[in-house]
């Protein structure tokens, strides 16, 4: 018998600290498999955020750097400019990227910084205990919105992919999810494309992944995947929002 699937060499042997069924683990391995397949493990530098994935630097089998909350794009900018031959990526959640670090990500995209961002959107603040995030859906309950997010008070959630896709410096922006094996394969294809475009020096690339937080949503891991499909899907549509290679081909 031949091995058809095993743990990626892009991950260390350290056990993930994530809750059972958390999709961070799935996205981690997609990034790790991509680094392994592109043969860039020795040439990659990742920047870990603040949030549930703060310990990402223990899990990826490549050089890693921690960053202050939300500032991963600024740190990645510095690394990429000093080491332009390296492949640089940030791994950030919605509290890091869409709240405290919004300025950094917008301006990194505007400058067309040539790194790749993996953006985990699970519509809540996970690590701090389920508070409302900028991505929390209207009506969704959070510890700081016990009756559900009200549009009159807190507005409507922010769609980062659509927003960043309006910026000229962005080369590739896609939103994917990991709710089924088929979607996981598509998500990996998107992540790989983003890294390839970075290597070709096309500009800023970001893949947003609709993810789960079973613990703070109060659902089982399997129910949480359904919740992504039913509740998040309509507000955060999947798809490619910007692809300059497609525009160049026209």
Contact 99, 133 (CB under 8 A): yes
Q: Does 204 bind other proteins (CB under 8 A)?
A: no
Q: Which is nearer to other proteins, 12 or 143 (CB)?
A: 12
Burial of 246 (0-12, 13-18, 19+ CB in 10 A): exposed
**H/E run at residue 48:** strand 44-48
Binding mask 211-230 for other proteins (x = CB under 8 A): ---x-----xxx--x-----
Between CA 172 and CA 181 the distance in angstroms is 23
Nearer to other proteins, 21 or 203 (CB): 21
The region of 8-16, 40-48, 197-205, 232-240 touching other proteins under the rule CB under 8 A is 8-16
State yes or no: residue 145 binds other proteins (CB under 8 A): no
Cβ partners under 8 Å of residue 19, min gap 6: 214, 215
224: phi then psi, degrees, rounded to nearest 5: -65, -35
Counting contacts by CB under 8 A, is residue 146 touching other proteins? no
Task: Determine contact, residues 184/209, Cβ cutoff 8 Å.
Answer: no
9, 21, 103, 105: which one contacts other proteins (CB under 8 A)? 21
Query: Does the footprint of other proteins cover residue 192 (CB under 8 A)?
Result: no
* Residue 140 interacting with other proteins (CB under 8 A): no
Determine if 15 is a binding residue for other proteins (CB under 8 A): yes
Q: Residue 76, SS3?
A: helix
244 within 8 A of 171, measured Cβ to Cβ? yes
Backbone angles phi, psi at 113, to 5 degrees: -60, 135
Number of residues that bind other proteins (CB under 8 A): 31
Task: Candidates 20-28, 145-153, 232-240, 242-250: pick the segment binding other proteins (CB under 8 A).
Answer: 20-28
- Closer by beta carbon to other proteins, 24 or else 202: 24
Measure CA 179 to chain center.
15
DSSP letter for 123, please. S
Q: Is residue 3 a contact residue for other proteins (CB under 8 A)?
A: yes
Could you tell me which stretch among 37-45, 105-113, 177-185, 233-241 binds other proteins (CB under 8 A)?
177-185
Contact between 249 and other proteins (CB under 8 A)?
Answer: no
- Rule CB under 8 A: say whether 151 interacts with other proteins: no
Angle at 120 between CA 213 and CA 169, to 5 degrees: 165
Interface residues with other proteins (CB under 8 A) are 1-8, 11, 15-16, 18-26, 29, 178, 180-181, 184-185, 214, 220-222, 225
């Amino acid at each position: 018998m031949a091995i058809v699937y095993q743990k990626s060499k892009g991950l260390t042997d350290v056990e993930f600290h994530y809750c059972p069924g958390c999709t961070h683990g799935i996205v981690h391995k997609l990034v790790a498999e991509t680094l392994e397949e592109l043969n860039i493990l020795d040439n990659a530098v990742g920047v870990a955020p603040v949030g549930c994935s703060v310990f990402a630097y223990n899990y990826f089998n490549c050089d890693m750097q921690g960053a202050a909350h939300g500032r991963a794009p600024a740190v990645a900018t510095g690394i990429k400019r000093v080491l332009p031959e390296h492949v640089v990526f940030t791994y950030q959640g919605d509290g890091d990227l869409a709240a405290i670090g919004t300025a950094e990500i917008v301006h990194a995209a505007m400058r067309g910084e040539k790194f790749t961002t993996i953006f985990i959107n699970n519509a809540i603040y996970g690590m701090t205990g389920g508070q409302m995030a900028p991505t929390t859906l209207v009506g969704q309950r959070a510890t700081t919105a016990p009756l559900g997010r009200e549009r009159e008070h807190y507005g409507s959630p922010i769609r980062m992919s659509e927003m960043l896709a309006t910026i000229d410096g962005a080369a590739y922006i896609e939103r994917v999810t990991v709710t089924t094996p088929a979607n996981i394969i598509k998500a990996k294809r998107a992540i790989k494309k983003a890294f390839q475009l970075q290597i070709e020096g096309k500009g800023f690339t970001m893949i947003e992944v609709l993810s789960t937080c079973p613990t703070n949503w109060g659902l089982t891991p399997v129910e949480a995947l359904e919740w992504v499909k039913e509740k998040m899907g309509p507000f955060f549509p999947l798809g490619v929002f910007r692809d300059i290679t497609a525009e160049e081909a026209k």
